[in-house]
Every structure is written in structure tokens, then in C-alpha cells.
Structure 1
Amino acid sequence: MKDAPNLSVIIPSRVDEFLQKTIDDLLAKAEKTIEIIVVLDGYWPNPPLRQDPNVIVVHQGTIFDNLGMRDGINTGISLARGKYIMKIDEHCMVNEGFDVKLAADCEENWVVIPRRYRLDAENWKLIEDGRPPIDYMFLDYPYKTKGDVSDGLHGNEWRDWYLKRKDILIDDTMSWQGSCWFLHRSYWKKIGPMDVDLYGTFTHEAQEIGNKVWLGGGRLVVNKKTWYAHFHKGSHGKGYGFSTEQYKRFSREKEKGRVGCIDYWINNRWPQRLHDFEWLIKKFWPVPNWPENWKEQIKIDAQYDFSKVGKKGFWLS
């Protein structure tokens, strides 16, 4: 067996035309030894992925009975041998030396997020449209619009923090998108694995991890010394290749995650927490869209959340 790599990169994949480009980009730009673990969710790429001694390909599920992103992440990390692990989406470009730059500013109980740009994946270049990169995101108030089932404890770009904190190269962020994250593999044993039962197969990846980090005494930081670029879909769809029944199940799973995320964190249900959710709001206060009386208001607003998988006022203690 080869010596353990410095970094294990996990790529959960569900039918993506840019997967090979992402793999090639990671291999070309890493400075130290890496292994890439690709977890194919119920499909085989066509054309097949190029063989490489530093790339491990795992296949699970079937085309009509896929397991989803969370299981893919858990499977990939269970096979990882690196000192560090990084999860990245299947359609991303990275900065030269990304692995070394991220490891240089990553303490034992940190999750580190590189600065995020937008990727023109077809031409494999950054999109330069005048918008700044994304460094900070906040957790949105879960009931911004009365009765809107698309609302939830989602991450939202925090442009005001970007403008105010430009000179801080390693800085706290309340949340992030979820498309790329980096940490010590040993730390994953404390905050993992991904919880499929609570969140379903796909949504709220960043909320699950980020809230565990902050409320468990760790630190979620953005590293502006390096970057990655995430696929900006433009005219492209998601392209999951689901059957009608799979799309119905996917929608149910998303709603399950939305409901579960609000309930779990607002009501302080994580038993390993060192802080309650209120601590996180206070740390980043004022947080956009959150009313000053949010603890009282959120109980009122929850009455208008008619979940497809729950009941009226489902999460009230």
C-alpha cells in the first residue's frame, strides 16, 4: 500500500459533465500528495473516467435508486487516508497550491472555506462580471415570507461583511454554500458523519456541519489567501437524470431537510453542543433578516409553516 497522502479529496457525483475536468484540475494544482475519492451515485460516467493511481472510484446505488450526496460524502470519508480531508463539488476549479494554502491556516477544530468565485465550466475559466467573490454567508431567518415553503435556515451571501472586512485574510463566517470545505480528518470523527435520517439525502450540508462546528466549540473560517470557483449553471440545468418518481422523492427529502434543520437547531436538540443557537446569533449580530425579538417571533411565524412532511407549527417545543 502506498504511503498515506497529505490530503484526501472527496467528490460525491451524480451525473456531471465536468467531473473529469474537476479531477484533472485538482491533480494539476496540488503541491503535496493527494488522493481523490470519487463516489458515483448510481451512474457510470460516459466516457469513463481516466484511470489514475491517485484517483479512487467508488460506485453505489443504482440509476433509479440512488443514495444521495450525504451517503456519498460519508462513504468517501470512510475510505480517506489523508491527514486532511476536503469535500468539493463535481464541477469546480481550484487555485494553484490550494492544498498547502488551506492546510497552513487550519487548526485542529476548524473547518476552512476557500474564497469562492464563479466558474464558466464550459470554457474552464473564472466569470468576470464585476461581482466580487463570495467570502461570507449568514444563516437566513427561516420564515422571511409567511407561508413560503422555500424559506428555511439557508445560507445567504453577506455582501456587507465582504465590504467591511476585506483586509482580514482569515476570518469567521457564520455559514457558507457547502460546495467546498477543508478540515483535519481527526476532527471529522467529532462532527461527522452526515445525518441522512434528519436531513434527507441532499440539502443543508453547510448548516449541518457549520452549526456543529460553531456550537461545538470549533471555528468556521474563510481563507482569502486561496480560492476555488464553483460552476455557475447559467442555462444549464442540474442534470441529475432522475425519473419522475426520483424527483418526487428528491422533493420530499428536501422538505424533510428544511423542516428538520429548523427544528434541530432552533430548539437546541444537538446533545454535544457547548452553546445554544442563540449564542451563534449573538456572535454575528446584527444578522440580516433576523428581527430583534426573533425568539418570540419565530414561534409565531412557525404557525404558518404547513410542511408537506410535518404538521402546522411542527417544531414548537
Structure 2
Amino acid sequence: MEPTFSVVIPTFNRAELLERTVKALLGQMGADLEVIVVDDGSTDSTPARLQGIADPRVRLHRQPNQGLAAARNAGFALARGRYVLFNDDDLVPEPGFLAAHLELHGQLPGVAVVSRTYLPEELGNAPFTRYWRARAEGGVRGKPNGAVLGKGGYWFASLSIGRNLLPNPPFSAFRAYGWEEHELGLRLWAKGVQPRLAVGARAAHLDRVCLEAMVAKLGSMGRMAWEFYGLHPSLEVAFWTGANPLSLAYKRWFYPWAKAQRLLEDRAWESTSVAFGNYSFILEAAYTRGLLEGKP
């Protein structure tokens, strides 16, 4: 008999976080599941940790490192459940997580159900952690259960959707980090599949973010914006991503990388009231630099 949920978890060298996430999923009540872990070329103890769990609901697929989109596609190809739940290896679900997903699918057939993720206090309260917590959670704070999140709301870091609603393979191959989720979300939105927030599907995001890592990610997103536009050459995508001459000129003028470099070199401002504004400027400048580097 097919499970209700196929949980697809891509992973790369994060054995300890992965083990915690898988165990939390296996402890869920109210829905049958299989957990498909796609080990995307890990060199750590990932296989041994999973073997130690010894639960027949856990399936491990190993492959050479190919990136997030390829790992998710491989997991989808193995999925047998009625719903596929993509869940990153550092998102640890709370009790009632799967039940909340299933309940919203029952209330709103044909939607994509997005988890309510948050940065837990165990990650600390360093200045950038506080900034990222506010930024990451701000898009859903105060929204009711079932709220439509808009075209940018397909967060495949933790999202479930009817397996029959997804193309095969779901994700387009980008050369680097950035826009894979938005690109698939745009295609789903065009088919009438809306992203809806499941307030009760809470998951702790245990990624210890730092400014340097996010600068690298935003730079990659800037470079990959041109690939997104190449797949969907429309005014909507051009202005959404900034991959057009007008937006690029604006960003280049207002977010010069030279100023961001000066802020990164002397970070005494992090303990002052201007910290959040400077973080936002640096990340926007990093994205702009990526746009300039990736421009065809």
C-alpha cells in the first residue's frame, strides 16, 4: 500500500542534522510516510547514521554530488506516496507537523502546503542571527492557516504537494545555487497550484547562518537570475529577478559593491542600531554583483 507522504530529504555532509531530522519525522503521528534520503556525494558518516536508525520506512539513495535540484529530482523519482514532501536536512519538524500538512490538503485540494519554519533560540542571538530570524520569518508572521503566500511563496525547503501535480522531473537544472524553487513555483502557479501556509506544520530551521555564507548565496542567485530569465523570458521574470537593463542600472547605482566591502572589512557597526540596515545593503549589493557577473 502506498504511503500518504513521501518525504524527500537531500543531504550533503550534514550527518548529525540529518539524523535529528529523520528521527523527528519518524516520530510523527497521524499519517503514513516513507523517508527518502538522497545522499548527494557525502563524505561524512551519513550512511552509518542512517543504518543506525534501522527503520524500514527510511530509504537511502546515494549519488555523486550533483547539487540540490538533481538530488530532489532523484528523490521524487523514487517516491510512492500520495503527497511528496520536500524537506531539507536541517529542518526538524515539531509534533503535529505531518498532521497539519494532511489537514490542509484535505481542506484545500490541489494546493502546495508550506511549512511554518522558524530559527530556534538554540541558534543564539548574535546580531546577524537576529536579523536573519526577522527576515526569514517576516513573510508569514501573523498570517492565518491556509493563507495564500503568492508567487514567491513556494519554499521547497519544507513543502508538500500531490505527487500527480508535479512535472517529472520537477526541478530544472541550474549551474549553481539560486532560483530552482522559484522557477518550479512559477510553473505551478500557472497551473493554478497555489502555495498555502500550514501554521501548525512547524519546523525548526537549524542552519547556523552567517553573513559570509549568505553573501555567497546571494551572489550565486544574482548570477543564476539570468538562467531563470532564459527559461522564462518575460517582463515579469525580468523585473522579479533584476535581469534587465533598467533594474541593473538602478541596483548598480544604489548598491555599489565597494561600499559593501568597506562594511565587511570594519564591522564595528554590528553592535549598533544601523546593523539591520547594513546587513540588507550588503546582501543586496552581493546580489547585484552576481547579476553583473552573470550578465550574458
Q: TM-score of the superposition, structure 2-length normalised?
A: 0.68
| C-alpha contact 1:119 1:229 (8 A) present in aligned 2 | yes
How far, CA to CA, are the matches of 1:130 and 1:251 in structure 2? 18
Aligned partner of 1:173 in structure 2 is: 149
1:206 aligns with 2:181: yes
1:229 aligns with 2:175: no
Aligned partner of 1:104 in structure 2 is: 103
Give the 3 Å change call, closer, same or farther, for CA 171–266 of structure 1 in structure 2. farther
How far, CA to CA, are the matches of 2:77 and 2:232 in structure 1? 26
> Which letter maps to 1:215?
A
User: For 1:70, what is the secondary structure of its paired residue?
Assistant: helix
| C-alpha contact 2:35 2:59 (8 A) present in aligned 1 | yes
How far, CA to CA, are the matches of 1:265 and 1:59 in structure 2? 32
TM-aligned CA deviation for residue 220 of structure 1: 1.1
TM-aligned CA deviation for residue 208 of structure 1: 1.8
How far, CA to CA, are the matches of 1:14 and 1:130 in structure 2? 26
TM-aligned CA deviation for residue 87 of structure 1: 0.6
TM-aligned CA deviation for residue 232 of structure 1: 3.9
TM-aligned CA deviation for residue 113 of structure 1: 0.4
| C-alpha contact 1:215 1:277 (8 A) present in aligned 2 | no
Aligned-residue sequence identity (percent) comes to 19
> Which letter maps to 1:14?
F
How far, CA to CA, are the matches of 1:32 and 1:216 in structure 2? 27
| C-alpha contact 1:102 1:223 (8 A) present in aligned 2 | yes
User: For 2:177, what is the secondary structure of its paired residue?
Assistant: coil
TM-aligned CA deviation for residue 77 of structure 1: 0.6
Aligned with 2:228 (options 243, 249, 261):
261
How far, CA to CA, are the matches of 1:309 and 1:131 in structure 2? 28
| C-alpha contact 1:120 1:232 (8 A) present in aligned 2 | no
- Tell me which protein shows more helix as a share of its residues: 2
Aligned with 1:188 (options 166, 172, 178):
166
User: For 2:66, what is the secondary structure of its paired residue?
Assistant: coil
User: For 2:119, what is the secondary structure of its paired residue?
Assistant: strand
| C-alpha contact 1:93 1:119 (8 A) present in aligned 2 | no
TM-aligned CA deviation for residue 261 of structure 1: 2.1
Q: What is the correspondence of 1:55-94 to structure 2 with a 5 Å cutoff?
A: 55-61=58-64, 66-94=65-93
| C-alpha contact 1:9 1:36 (8 A) present in aligned 2 | yes
| C-alpha contact 2:3 2:32 (8 A) present in aligned 1 | yes
User: For 2:167, what is the secondary structure of its paired residue?
Assistant: helix
TM-aligned CA deviation for residue 101 of structure 1: 1.7
Q: CA RMSD in A?
A: 3.9
- Tell me which protein shows more strand as a share of its residues: 1
Deviations 1:242-301 (A, max 9, x none): xxxxxx9x9997555222224544616xxxxxxx769xx9xxxxxxxx8xxx99x95422
Aligned partner of 1:38 in structure 2 is: 37
How far, CA to CA, are the matches of 2:58 and 2:167 in structure 1? 23
Aligned partner of 2:141 in structure 1 is: 162
TM-aligned CA deviation for residue 96 of structure 1: 1.6
How far, CA to CA, are the matches of 1:108 and 1:252 in structure 2? 37
Q: What is the correspondence of 1:21-36 to structure 2 with a 5 Å cutoff?
A: 21-36=20-35
> Which letter maps to 2:182?
Q
How far, CA to CA, are the matches of 1:130 and 1:158 in structure 2? 11
Aligned partner of 2:13 in structure 1 is: 15
TM-aligned CA deviation for residue 159 of structure 1: 3.4
TM-aligned CA deviation for residue 161 of structure 1: 6.7
Structure 2 residues not aligned, in runs of 5+: 253-287
How many residues align structurally? 242
TM-aligned CA deviation for residue 121 of structure 1: 6.7
TM-aligned CA deviation for residue 36 of structure 1: 0.5
